[in-house]
Amino acid sequence: MTTLFDPIQIGDIALANRIAMAPLTRNRATNSVPTPMMAEYYGQRATAGLIIAEASQISPMAQGYLDTPGIYSPEQVAAWRPVTDAVHAAGGRIVIQLWHVGRISHSSLLPEGAAPVSSTNQVANTQTYTRDGFVPVSAPRALRDDELPGLVADYRQAARCAIEAGFDGVEVHAANTYLLEQFLRDSINERSGPYGGSIANRARLLLEVVQAVSEEIGAGRTGVRLSPLTTFGGSAPLDSNPQAVYGYVVEQLAPLGLAYLHMIEGETGGPRKPEGAPAFDYAALRRAFPGAWMVNNGLSRADGLDAVASGTADIVAYGRPFISNPDLVRRLKEDAPLNALRADKLYGGGAEGYTDYPFLKD
């Protein structure tokens, strides 16, 4: 029987076990450049089968929160190198999440105070974190169709930067109501033309991005993350038919030979069966996808063991438990107690609540 602790080959990447560290925004970059502390943090967590480094903007216009890292400039590539070296030196594997926030941003974070860009010019009913603290997001500008090839090119260039920085691959962030999901959902995308209307049209940008990234670095080094039932407190209402939209996306991704598909089950960081959300058949999507299937969203140790043993997933991603337990793999294996999370240290700040969580003693 296969267990959570068994190795797995996903595309071109060989993992020592089936436990992934989920991508986690920690806001500890400086001017979009990774800091040395981040190498220590990721290096400490290298016994994960796969680390998915935090969401990182693919261009200056892709940023939506203060002090998140970028993956588009030579300076950023050089500053990520100690991170990937630290993880590889400890025998781990690490990919980076490619991120464009779309309308979840504020002009003060963007070049020359620009308006955020999206599929729509409707403002999201939510806030973001800037130098002035939490503020309502700015009204976006709907991208013109003729701007979308440039956007796809930005993803491609960021993927190239990731490989240059020593990452084993990338995860395309198509979840959590950011840009690619702002195109996917009919609750947000009100466009006409080739990128609006039908499901195929709304999925077009995501599929073009995945195609471009796969061409650039290899499909076997490319993963995709989806969140069919996430609303973030209603700021991004669900699609009118999530099963059809995400079913179509998975069907289109299936033949590409991707490293993995990463499914957030339920409301991100919330219930796995959100109240009021339609029933969603994740298993049907999994059956349609021949590659590695990664699941995430508040799974316990028992849930993770069961998911792999029963075959409902190939890989289980843990988020918050990896923040407070750098040696989470060992703790899961030994059924050891977990350190408590210091929730006040999640976003921004220094080493406290970041690199100072204790390892188990021998």
Task: Just list the catalytic residues.
Answer: 178
Site for ligand 8OZ in 83-142 (CB under 6 A): none
- How would you write 180-249 as a 3-class SS string? HHHHHCCCCCCCCCCCCCCHHHHCHHHHHHHHHHHHHHCHHHEEEEECCCCCCCCCCCCCCCHHHHHHHH
Shortest reach from residue 197's CB to ligand 8OZ, in Å: 26
Number of neighbouring beta carbons within 10 Å of residue 144: 9
In the complex with ligand 8OZ, which residue's Cβ is closer, 254 or 277? 277
Q: Which of 223, 229, 171, 243 is nearest to 24 (CA)?
A: 171
Residue 57: beta bridge partners? 70, 99
- Taking CB under 6 A as the criterion, the residue among 176, 189, 231, 325 binding ligand 8OZ is 176
In the complex with ligand 8OZ, which residue's Cβ is closer, 47 or 297? 297
Residue 129: beta bridge partners? 134
State how far the Cα of 163 lies from the Cα of 168, in Å rounded to an integer: 7
In the complex with ligand 8OZ, which residue's Cβ is closer, 205 or 332? 205
Residue 70 is given by DSSP the state: B
Contact criterion met (CB below 8 Å) for 28 and 36: no
Contact criterion met (CB below 8 Å) for 101 and 116: yes
Q: Which of 231, 178, 203, 129 is nearest to 23 (CA)?
A: 178
Residue 25 lies near ligand 8OZ (rule: CB under 6 A): yes
Distance between the two ends of the chain, CA-based, in angstroms?
29
Shortest reach from residue 14's CB to ligand 8OZ, in Å: 26
Shortest reach from residue 267's CB to ligand 8OZ, in Å: 11
159 SS3 class: helix
Site for ligand 8OZ in 230-289 (CB under 6 A): 268
Shortest reach from residue 111's CB to ligand 8OZ, in Å: 20
Contact criterion met (CB below 8 Å) for 120 and 189: yes
In the complex with ligand 8OZ, which residue's Cβ is closer, 16 or 55? 55
Shortest reach from residue 176's CB to ligand 8OZ, in Å: 4
Shortest reach from residue 24's CB to ligand 8OZ, in Å: 7
In the complex with ligand 8OZ, which residue's Cβ is closer, 25 or 252? 25
State how far the Cα of 222 lies from the Cα of 259, in Å rounded to an integer: 5
In the complex with ligand 8OZ, which residue's Cβ is closer, 62 or 299? 62
Site size for ligand 8OZ, by CB under 6 A? Answer: 5
Q: Give the angle 9-242-117 at the CA atoms, nearest 5°.
A: 85
**Residue with token string 């390892």:** 359
Q: Give the angle 179-319-306 at the CA atoms, nearest 5°.
A: 115
Residue 39: beta bridge partners? none
In the complex with ligand 8OZ, which residue's Cβ is closer, 65 or 318? 65
Shortest reach from residue 335's CB to ligand 8OZ, in Å: 29
The binding track of 47-76 with respect to ligand 8OZ, each residue x by CB under 6 A or -, is --------x---------x-----------
Residue 297 lies near ligand 8OZ (rule: CB under 6 A): no
- In the complex, the residues that contact ligand 8OZ under the rule CB under 6 A are 25, 55, 65, 176, 268
